[in-house]
Amino acid sequence: MKRSKELVEKRKNFVIDYVKRNQNKQMKVIVTELTEMLFLSERTIYNIILENLVGPYPYTSSV
């Protein structure tokens, strides 16, 4: 099933906003909370966070 771009962007924005609002917590706790809220894997959440810290991965294409 292909996800809409809008949904993916909303999810990314939510994750980043949540991380910013909860900076006083440990990252592991934040990721666990997001996993339970959004039903996403830890790896997916970490990828979203890393992508927004350092930009898109060099091996992904924007075709």
37 band by pLDDT with thresholds 50, 70 and 90:
very high
pLDDT, tens digit, 9 for 90 and up, residues 14-36: 999 999 999 999 999 999 999 99
Q: What residues contact residue 12 under an 8 Å CB cut-off, 6+ apart? A: 48, 51, 52
Consecutive H or E run containing 30: helix 27-38
Q: What residues contact residue 62 under an 8 Å CB cut-off, 6+ apart? A: 56
The residue ranking higher by pLDDT, 63 or 22, is: 22
53 band by pLDDT with thresholds 50, 70 and 90:
confident
Instruction: Please report the pLDDT score of residue 2 as a whole number.
Output: 66
Q: What residues contact residue 39 under an 8 Å CB cut-off, 6+ apart? A: none
Q: What percent of the chain has pLDDT over 90?
A: 71
If one counts every other C-beta atom within 10 angstroms of the C-beta of residue 4, the result is 8
